[in-house]
Every structure is written in C-alpha cells, then in structure tokens.
Amino acid sequence: MKDEEIIICRCEDITLKEIKDAIHKGYKDIESLRKYLQLSMGPCQGKTCIPLTEKILAQELKKRIDEMTMPTTRPPETPVPFGIFNKVKE
Amino acid sequence: MKNRDIVIIGGGITGLATAYYLVKSGIKNISILEKSYLGSGSTGRCGSGIRQQFTTKEHIVLMKESVKLWKEWNNDLPIPIHFEQGGYLWLLNNKKELAQHKKYVKYQNTFGIESAIISTKEAKEIVPDLNTNDIVGASWCHTDGSAYPFDVTNALQTFLKEKKVEINTFEEVNEIHIKNDKIQEVITTKDKYTTNTVINGAGYGAKYIGQLAGLNIPLQPYRHQIAASEPLRNFLGPMVVKDELYFLQTHRGRIIGGTDLKEPPLSNLNSTLNFLEEYSKQITSVLPILSSVNIMKQWAGYYIITPDRHPILGPTKINGFILGCGYSGHGFMLGPVVGKLLASLIVHKNMYIREANNLTLERFKTGKLIQERAVIG
C-alpha cells in the first residue's frame, strides 16, 4: 500500500504520508506534530494513532522508540456528556 | 557562539509576533529560543477568544489595534488562522450589572468600539438556544471573535522559516550576562548568543528570565482549566460569557470554554474533576441543549497575573532588555499588537501607541497602576 492510502489517525483522517511530510517539514516531536496535523485530537484522543506515530517518528528520525516523549494523557478517559453532573428530575 | 541583533526568549505568540514584525521591518538576524515546542505554554492552551470589551483605555485601544492586525494576519499569513469575528455575547444577570455594563459600553464607544447593550430578545436572536430565564440583557460586540491558536503558531512559524529566521526549540536559557546595565550575552543549554537586545516573552517563565537579568517582575501564575467537546455541526456564532463562564465553538466544531474556580496562585497544570463538574453545570444552565453533548478532553494553562491585570510591555532599566509578559489571561488576543509594539520599540525606539507607554515595568515603582475589572474565566 502507498503511504497516502494508509490512515494512521482514524478520527481525523490523517495518513502516513501526511505524518512523514510533516516530520520532514520540521515538526519533529509528538506535540508539534499533533498540533500541526490535529492528529489524535478526535473522540478517541489518540488511543490508536499515538503509539503508531511514535513508531513512525522514531523510524524517520532514526532514534529508538524509548527516546521518544509521550504526550500528556488528559481526562476524561472516555467522552462523557455535559449533563452527567446535573440531577435527574424525579 | 552566535552573534544576533535580537534574541527572543519564548516561542509563543509574543515571540513569534515580534519576530514577524521585525522581519517586516527588515531585521532578520534573530534567534527565537523556546525551552519546549512552539506554543507549549499559554498560547497553545488558551481559550482562543479575541475581544475589545474591556474597561480601561489601555486595553481598549490596544485591542482595537490588535483586531485590525488580526484581520491583516488572516489575509497575509501563509496558513489559514481561522480568525473569525463571531462576536462576544456577554450575558448580564441583573439591573446592577446592566447599569455597570452600560457605562463600559459607552466608554468603549468613545474609542470607536462597536459594542452595544442589547435586550434579552436580541440575545436570543443571536443564540436561539440560549436560556434567558435569569438574564436581563447582554453586552454585545460583533467585531470581537476568535482565532485558532495552533494554526496561528504554525502560520507564524512557516512565515519565519521561509524568511530564514532561526527558531531553536528545546533549548533553555540559563544565563543572561549584563555589563554596565547593558545586555551582552545569552547562554543556553546548547549555545551562546552575543547580542545587545533580548525580548522576554517567556510567559510563565518570564519571571525567571527577569531574575536572570536581575529584575523582579511582579508576575503570579494562576491555573485555569478548559474543556473541549466532541465536534458538532457549526451552530454557535459568538463567544458566550456569563459571570466567569465563557465558551465558543471553534471552526472545527468543538465547544471549548472554561470557568474560574477562584484558586490561589498555583504552579501545576493538573486537570481536576471539580472543574469539569463546575463548568458542565454552568454551561448546561446557559445552553441546556448541550446536556447530551460529550466532553472530549480537558486541560489547563496559566493566567500570568500582574498586580493591575494589565500586561508589562517595553523597556526596562537594563539597556536592551525588553518585556512582553503578564497578560493576565489576554496574551493570545493581544499577540499581534504586542508584536508590532515591541518591533516598533526596537526599530523606531518608541512604542507607536501612546497608551502602551503606561504599561511599562516602571509603573509598579511610580504607582501608576491601571485596574482592569473585566477579566473572565
């Protein structure tokens, strides 16, 4: 398969080609990459694409995967509705 | 070792905007030093709002100019920044607030800001789903708006890289050498820069950078939290404000906003459940249709507060040490005008807007403070 046909971030439809291009444009850490591509900013919050992108970054930069920094994990764990804190009327 | 005309400390909107206007004036021998990635501090964490509904001459005049510059950026920058003038709708709870905001609006109008007091019915026309049960009217300014912080950072960065300006990320400043009250050198974790001009646009780190130069800058960090919803079809035009609550819908469809938990100064950026509960209760009372909409994530950033809640801009007693910090929650919206003012200070030896001269560090010595009453979230 070609790089432009491989989708890495499923929430935001971002392909392997877009990620590689961005790295070679100078977005060489996970946070800059996320903010440039909006990668991992969909409803799953990067659960699939962050580990994949870390691996791509390591390969492209010729580094080891344990040299890569990880983005901050932010709550909530899964999406919850705004109304969850409101009392239900009886 | 490098020799630079200007060293900019901080790769947020202050540093990038200043570099942008320096390049426009023909100065390119600049290094921007950022200890993390670009926009990693307050710029990339902000609520993205841009407003002119302030209560002091300094803020109003600067923000009026900034909105003009935001429009120029929207046309001129190489990547779309999604600057949109959706307006700010400031909901008013009672007659006392209404009377107060009538005065603010009248004052804003004398500077040519197109704000107005509108009725509850008119507010409902702007946001049809609004719960108007506990409001008596609103303050409305249709030329206020927002821009998308990541896009702004990337657009400025792209412009600067095209112009061959050096941007060094993951490089931290450790020392600033001064001789006879004049800047000589900046030492970082990676290099040494010989320069006579340093811009301190380090946001949360500006106090520390000040200390490196032997200056006490009166800044205190306050944690403020924000949450973003799942993306929705665009239905909400303006930024909505009620008490400390604020929220808007970005061009990507998410509702982002926050509220103030009245916490003491704090040096951590943890997210709390307490915030999520408070924010959710407030937002669903103002816009009940959001009850079933999902919250996707929350994060935090700092308001770097000064004693009078106005930024600290311009020269200091150290020759060549220039400040752009302490925005008290308004750094992103002020970014373009601050960049142009600091560039003008370097190129023309003066900040081209008279009111900006009331915002130097000197005011804390002379006691000429200016109090801003309208700080949200």
pLDDT, residue A72, reads 87
For the residues B218-234, what does the mean pLDDT come to? 97
Beta strands in B126-230 (DSSP E): 137-141, 145-146, 166-168, 173-179, 182-188, 192-194, 198-200, 220-229
Q: What is the ipTM of this complex?
A: 0.90
For the segment A9-29, the average pLDDT, to the nearest whole number, is 96
Question: What does pLDDT average to over chain B?
Answer: 97
Angle at B78 between CA A56 and CA B251, to 5 degrees: 75
Pair B345, B302: CB distance under 8 Å: no
> Among partner residues A42, A79, A82, which is closest to B284 by beta-carbon distance?
A82
> How is residue A31 written in tokens?
């946070």
Q: What letter does residue B95 receive in the DSSP assignment?
A: H
- Tell me the pLDDT band of B369, cut-offs 50, 70 and 90: confident
Share of chain B above pLDDT 90, in %: 96
Query: How much of chain B, in percent, has pLDDT values that exceed 70?
Result: 100
Residue A88 pLDDT exceeds 70: no
pLDDT in tens, A21-76: 999 999 999 999 999 999 999 888 999 999 999 999 999 999 999 998 888 889 99
Distance, CA of B357 to CA of B291 (rounded, Å): 47
Lowest mean pLDDT among A69-83, B61-75, B151-165, B298-312: A69-83
- At CB < 8 Å, which residues of chain B contact A? 36-40, 44, 150, 153-154, 161, 169-170, 229-231, 252, 271, 273, 276-277, 280-281, 283-284, 290-299
B376 pLDDT more than 90: no
Say whether B169 and A85 touch across the interface (CB within 8 A). Answer: no
Mean per-residue pLDDT, B335-350: 98
Give yes or no for residue B195 having a pLDDT over 80. Answer: yes
pLDDT (0 to 100) of residue B188: 98
Count of alpha carbons within 13 angstroms of residue A69, beta-carbon side? 12
Residue B99 predicted with pLDDT over 70: yes
When pLDDT is averaged across residues B11-26 and rounded to a whole number, the result is: 98
pLDDT above 60: residue A90: no
- Is the pLDDT reported for residue A13 higher than 60? yes
CB–CB contact A81 B273 (8 Å): no
For B269-326, the pLDDT digits (tens) are 999 999 999 999 999 999 999 999 999 999 999 999 999 999 999 999 999 999 999 9
Is A36 an interface residue toward B (CB < 8 Å)?
yes
pLDDT of residue B145: 98
Residue B253's φ and ψ, nearest 5 degrees, are 90, -10
Best of B16, B37, B166 to disrupt the A interface (most A CBs within 10 Å) is B37
The answer to whether residue B94 scores a pLDDT higher than 60 is yes
What one-character DSSP code corresponds to residue B260? -
Q: What's the pTM value of the predicted model, to 2 decimals? A: 0.96
Radius of gyration of chain B (CA): 20
Contact A79 B296 (CB under 8 A): yes
Q: What is the structure's pLDDT at A43?
A: 86
**What pLDDT does A89 receive?**
59
For chains A and B, count residue pairs whose Cβ atoms are closer than 8 Å. Answer: 76
Question: Is the previous residue joined to B307 through a cis bond, with omega within 30 degrees of 0?
Answer: no
